[in-house]
A and B are shown apart, each in its own frame.
Chain A
Amino acid sequence: MSAALVQRVRSPRALGWTAGWVVAILLPSVLSEGQESTATFVVIGAIGAVGLGVLTGYAGQISLGHAFFLGVGAYTGAVLGANHHWNAIFWIPAAGLVAALCGLIIAPTALRLRGLYLAIVTIGVLFIGQDIFLNSSSWTGGPEGREFPIVHFSSSLDFAYGNTLNIGGYTIDHNGLYYYLGLIILAISLLFVWNLSRTRMGRAMQAVRERELAASVMGIDLARTKIAAFVVSSFFAGICGALYGSFLSFAQPGDWDLTLSIQYLAAIIIGGMGTVMGPVLGAFVVFGLADVIKTLSFVSQNGSGGISPNDFSSMVYGVLIIGFLVVEPRGLMGLGARFTSRPRRRGGGATLDPRREGRQFAPD
């Protein structure tokens, strides 16, 4: 092992990552069944948020059409997995590929539009998508909705309800299986995005985000960069949608709506745009906070006195978005950088430079 690698491994950042993964892997063993299903929704949501992070966080293209790509992924999974009995090892990636293809078709609209105009166009995509979903009964079940296939790899690895997996005395149930599958895919997604952000394409995306004109003067192919961002983002959205549909087991076309898109946008704003881990933290806040809030003593579960958990979590969630946009636009990652940047700078080497990471999103 080289000296540089030793130093790298010992750096606080690497330790933080390692600790994070260890916690994530051990988490289901300390959670109740209800908390475990919330954790699974968080992990699955995080995959979609990481995807939107590439498009909006890195390439600066605001999209409110994310729910459409989630829907495309979910229905691709459903058609291939349930109607054609494909193995999950094929239908999960296929869901990503079909969604990416849709992203490729829609991306050219982003070439001529920016900022709010692009946001409006992507809402249009969402509405058209809803109409298509509602009227393609053979794929989506039409307005009544449809069932989604349970993940099935082989007769010995089947995620059906009631099935458990025993690894050295440690039992993983239905929710746990989905949690770990989501975690593995999330890890691969993060590794991909982390690498992407350091490639020529990733840096080109960030240049496009900062100022398109300057980027194009530097010789960056705007069309190629934006299309790549759309394709990557919708690929992850597709995977996320397929897992979400499968874990939820039933969905109606109306579920892939603007609210869902806004939740993903909120996740990357709260977590921190233009960072690798930001969307994951944001997904925890957006998809997991309501469940944490339910455990607070002044929140009433049964509607008799006190404030209802759903109302309270909506308020907290709204206050958080306003708070972060006003006080710390770099999101939770920015907060982290603010608290840790000083001691780390002394250590040299692997610093989290707030000028480089967690940059404030500035649409022009």
Chain B
Amino acid sequence: MNRHHLRQVAAVLATAATMVALAACGTSSHSSSATARTSTGFLVGPGVDAATKTITIGNIGAITGPAGPLGIPALAGAKVAVDEINATGGIDGWKLKILFRDAAYVPQQQVQAYDAINGQIAVLQSFGSPTTLAIQPQFDAAKLLTFPLSWDSAWDKDPLLAPVGTPYALDIANGLHYLITVKHLGTKIGIVYQNDEYGADGLRGLEAASKIDGIKVVAKATYAVGDTDMTAQAEAMKSAGAQIVVVTALPSTAGPLVGTAASLGYTPTYLFQGPSFVEQLVTATGAFGATATPIAGALSKDTYVMSFVTPWGNNVPGMREMLRWQKRFAPTQIPSIYFAWAYAQTKVLADVLRKAIESKNLSRAGIDAARLNVGTVYTGGLTPPVAYRPTLGPPSTGSIINRVDSKVQGFLDPVATNIKSPVDSTLG
């Protein structure tokens, strides 16, 4: 036997031996979320430091990449909420801390970021639908309560996910109900949607809405994330004669769609899914009074935006309070619905932690249980009321509908709050 053969045989034997060794030992299941009891009688889990009375909130966001324009204000909103809580004495003396990792809206990076911080956090905020789906089996196994920064309809089927807001599909059904039966703006509906989980959710909403009297779905057009040429989609809507066009997109696509359609002489009523809109679609910097964008006119004509939070500057208690703290901790922040929404979500999260502190149980199981015991959380009108039930289902079912108006702060004018469609029940 020559040395080449010897080496090959050795390698194969070594591999086989490793496999056998692995198989012989066998895996065993164990829980990684170790808990301990403190001298003050608190049961604490990972991410809770009883000595300094600090609770760490994990936040895996997207401050770079395609969703950066949404992820940056979202992180800022969460930070202001935490700063506010800490500045007012914390929750019964317990301070909050955010441990942030950027995953750029890439599932693989989300997994890496999760693995990096999993052992150091008590509760998690996770940005995006495909990214949160990639870590779902992990936080389920780790019994880690997770607040998704997205509104996928799949969320309310997982007992460890605590979404704040109304799921995308319900939003679309509610919005169409409002435009068709309340405002009588037309019955021929078209949809332009992103070819992923987020877009599919918009489609599910449209499917449910198709039970509305007289509605006719006349055109469906899809696109891939990153596509900016919307000529084919705009043509499809125009040639089908759609009176209302549902847009389930990101702003980088919604803008070109509206612009292209206008240049074709086509100006339907638009119904924007929340993430389709960003303030920068109206003015260059997103600030009020800045240079208007070329599509500002077309957008202000007849565009409705489904919103998970009340518009910036709206005169409700939650918004007034938020603006007060925003001026103190993030004075340069321009009006942003993502900022407001992440702020509201973090306040709901804090309410859950308050409940867990009351029951002296800050283990992961304790925090999860607190979510179900917290009852209905009112965010001072920032979002529809939030209630988590053991039977699961969406925490909110009403929708806030705004109309784009370039003459108001934040460019959104609320036209209806807590709208509910009779077809909602079909969305479970």
A positions within 8 Å CB-CB of B: 2, 4-5, 8, 32-38, 41, 130, 134, 142-145, 147, 150, 153-154, 156-167, 173, 175, 177, 180, 184, 187-188, 191, 195, 247-255, 290-291, 301-303, 308-311
Instruction: With A34-B116, A157-B26, A163-B27 as known contacts, state yes or no: A41 contacts B108, CB within 8 Å.
Output: yes
- Whether a CB of chain A sits under 8 angstroms from the CB of B307 is no
Are B6 and A5 in contact, with the CB atoms below 8 A? yes
Which 6 residue pairs are nearest across A and B when measured between Cβ atoms?
A34-B116, A156-B26, A161-B141, A37-B115, A163-B27, A144-B197
Q: Which residues of B contact A38 (CB under 8 A)?
A: 112
Instruction: With A145-B196, A165-B25, A254-B224 as known contacts, state yes or no: A34 contacts B117, CB within 8 Å.
Output: yes
Among A143, A153, A164, A251, contact of B199 (Cβ-Cβ < 8 Å): A143
A-B contact pairs, 28 of them (CB 8 A): A5-B6, A35-B116, A130-B224, A144-B196, A144-B197, A156-B26, A157-B22, A157-B27, A161-B140, A162-B32, A164-B27, A175-B115, A191-B8, A248-B108, A248-B111, A250-B136, A251-B134, A252-B197, A253-B195, A254-B224, A301-B102, A302-B98, A308-B63, A308-B64, A309-B102, A310-B64, A310-B104, A310-B109
Q: Which residues of B contact A253 (CB under 8 A)?
A: 195
Q: Which residues of B contact A33 (CB under 8 A)?
A: 115-116, 118-119
CB-based nearest A residue for B152: A144
Q: Which residues of B contact A35 (CB under 8 A)?
A: 116
Among A165, A188, A311, contact of B15 (Cβ-Cβ < 8 Å): A188
Q: Which residues of B contact A157 (CB under 8 A)?
A: 22-23, 26-27
Q: Distance in Å from the Cβ of A93 to the closest Cβ of chain B? A: 14
Q: Which residues of B contact A134 (CB under 8 A)?
A: 195
Are B107 and A248 in contact, with the CB atoms below 8 A? yes
CB-based nearest B residue for A21: B14
Are A142 and B200 in contact, with the CB atoms below 8 A? yes
Q: Which residues of B contact A158 (CB under 8 A)?
A: 27
CB-based nearest B residue for A6: B3
Instruction: With A5-B3, A161-B141, A164-B30 as known contacts, state yes or no: A303 contacts B72, CB within 8 Å.
Output: yes
Known contacts A34-B115, A251-B134, then 11 further A-B pairs from the complex at CB < 8 Å, ordered by chain A residue: A4-B3, A164-B28, A167-B25, A188-B15, A248-B107, A249-B136, A250-B107, A251-B107, A303-B63, A310-B64, A310-B104
Give the distance in Å from the alpha carbon of A66 to the alpha carbon of B265 in the complex.
42
B positions within 8 Å CB-CB of A: 3, 6, 8, 11, 15, 18-19, 21-23, 25-32, 63-65, 72, 75, 98, 100-102, 104, 107-109, 111-113, 115-119, 130, 133-138, 140-142, 194-197, 199-200, 222, 224-225
Give the distance in Å from the alpha carbon of A309 to the alpha carbon of B135 in the complex.
21
Are B75 and A303 in contact, with the CB atoms below 8 A? yes
CB-based nearest B residue for A137: B200
Q: Distance in Å from the Cβ of A302 to the closest Cβ of chain B? A: 4
Give the distance in Å from the alpha carbon of A252 to the alpha carbon of B199 in the complex.
12
Among A34, A36, A166, the one with the most B-chain Cβ atoms within 10 Å of its Cβ is: A34
Give the distance in Å from the alpha carbon of A156 to the alpha carbon of B130 in the complex.
31
A interface SS class: helix
Give the distance in Å from the alpha carbon of A36 to the alpha carbon of B116 in the complex.
9
Are B116 and A32 in contact, with the CB atoms below 8 A? yes
Are A162 and B197 in contact, with the CB atoms below 8 A? no
Q: Which residues of A contact B116 (CB under 8 A)?
A: 32-35, 37
Among A143, A145, A159, A162, contact of B133 (Cβ-Cβ < 8 Å): A145
Q: Which residues of B contact A303 (CB under 8 A)?
A: 63, 72, 75, 100, 102
Among B21, B26, B133, contact of A250 (Cβ-Cβ < 8 Å): B133
Q: Which residues of B contact A191 (CB under 8 A)?
A: 8, 11
Q: Which residues of A contact B101 (CB under 8 A)?
A: 301
Are A195 and B8 in contact, with the CB atoms below 8 A? yes
Q: Distance in Å from the Cβ of B427 to the closest Cβ of chain A? A: 16
Instruction: With A5-B6, A177-B27 as known contacts, state yes or no: A310 contacts B115, CB within 8 Å.
Output: no
Q: Which residues of A contact B19 (CB under 8 A)?
A: 184
CB-based nearest B residue for A142: B200
Are A34 and B112 in contact, with the CB atoms below 8 A? yes
Give the distance in Å from the alpha carbon of A248 to the alpha carbon of B31 in the complex.
21
Are B107 and A165 in contact, with the CB atoms below 8 A? no
Q: Which residues of A contact B3 (CB under 8 A)?
A: 2, 4-5, 8
Instruction: With A144-B196, A248-B134, A303-B72 as known contacts, state yes or no: A37 contacts B63, CB within 8 Å.
Output: no
Instruction: With A145-B197, A156-B26, A310-B102 as known contacts, state yes or no: A184 contacts B15, CB within 8 Å.
Output: yes
Among A2, A4, A163, contact of B29 (Cβ-Cβ < 8 Å): A163
Q: Which residues of B contact A177 (CB under 8 A)?
A: 27
Q: Distance in Å from the Cβ of B97 to the closest Cβ of chain A? A: 11
Among B64, B112, B130, contact of A37 (Cβ-Cβ < 8 Å): B112
Are B199 and A162 in contact, with the CB atoms below 8 A? no
Q: Which residues of B contact A195 (CB under 8 A)?
A: 8
Give the distance in Å from the alpha carbon of A291 to the alpha carbon of B29 in the complex.
29
Q: Distance in Å from the Cβ of B107 to the closest Cβ of chain A? A: 6
Are B29 and A36 in contact, with the CB atoms below 8 A? no
Among A166, A187, A291, contact of B112 (Cβ-Cβ < 8 Å): A291
CB-based nearest B residue for A181: B22
Are B141 and A160 in contact, with the CB atoms below 8 A? yes
Q: Distance in Å from the Cβ of B239 to the closest Cβ of chain A? A: 22
Q: Which residues of A contact B196 (CB under 8 A)?
A: 143-145, 252, 254
Q: Which residues of B contact A37 (CB under 8 A)?
A: 111-112, 115-116
Q: Which residues of B contact A36 (CB under 8 A)?
A: 115
Q: Which residues of A contact B134 (CB under 8 A)?
A: 248-251
Q: Which residues of A contact B112 (CB under 8 A)?
A: 34, 37-38, 41, 291
